[in-house]
């Protein structure tokens, strides 16, 4: 990869806020602890399974991106990191920010990208804003 700064730094990954991941990990840990305590008392309870599930989701929030911006498409990912939705771009300038919402220009229509902006890591969102302000002229391959 070259160090040429004439191209945007793509793909740009939008990660989940760390605070959201920490909350899920704490809730998962609390449920696991309660489930183990009940298990030691001789009673199996659903909170053990629920705690494992919540902790797993929190771990996904720490390690997997919510979305990735590429030169020719925007991809939304699930907690497992798999791409679940994609928005095609004919040019990078098809991406538009209006407030805290990302849109893709597709023909004459402006299509809202189904992101939850309050869950996106602040630095990642700022990087995307700066990239869209300074690099709108790049064409997709």
Given a contact cutoff of 8 angstroms between Cβ atoms, the answer to whether 140 and 90 are in contact is: yes
Long-range Cβ contact pairs of 123-129 (< 8 A, separation 24 or more): 124/12, 124/13, 124/14, 124/15, 125/14, 125/100, 127/9, 127/12, 128/12, 128/14, 128/69, 128/97, 128/102, 129/97
Given a contact cutoff of 8 angstroms between Cβ atoms, the answer to whether 25 and 136 are in contact is: no
pLDDT band (50, 70, 90) for residue 140? very low
Q: Is pLDDT above 70 for 138? A: no
Please report the pLDDT score of residue 89 as a whole number.
87
Please report the pLDDT score of residue 139 as a whole number.
40
Write out pLDDT tens, residues 66-121: 999 988 899 999 988 899 999 988 887 888 888 888 999 888 888 999 988 888 99
Write out pLDDT tens, residues 8-40: 577 889 999 999 999 999 999 999 999 999 999
Q: How far apart are CA 28 and CA 48, in angstroms?
A: 9
Q: Is pLDDT above 60 for 61? A: yes
Please report the pLDDT score of residue 4 as a whole number.
46
Helix (H) or strand (E) holding 124: helix 122-134
- Residue in 69, 88, 68 with CA at minimum distance from that of residue 78: 68
- Listed by start position, the domains of the chain span 12-132
């Amino acid at each position: 990869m070259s160090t040429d700064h004439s191209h945007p730094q793509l793909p740009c990954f939008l990660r989940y806020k760390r605070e959201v991941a920490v909350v899920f990990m704490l809730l998962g840990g609390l449920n696991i602890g309660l489930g183990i305590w009940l298990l030691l008392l001789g009673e199996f309870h659903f909170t053990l399974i629920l705690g494992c599930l919540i902790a797993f989701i929190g771990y996904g929030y720490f390690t997997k991106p919510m979305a990735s911006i590429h030169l020719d498409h925007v991809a939304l990912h699930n907690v497992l990191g798999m791409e679940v939705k994609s928005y095609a771009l004919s040019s990078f300038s098809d991406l538009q920010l209006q407030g805290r919402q990302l849109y893709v220009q597709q023909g004459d229509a402006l299509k809202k990208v189904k992101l939850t902006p309050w869950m996106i890591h602040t630095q990642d969102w700022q990087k995307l804003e700066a990239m869209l302000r300074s690099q709108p002229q790049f064409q997709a391959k």
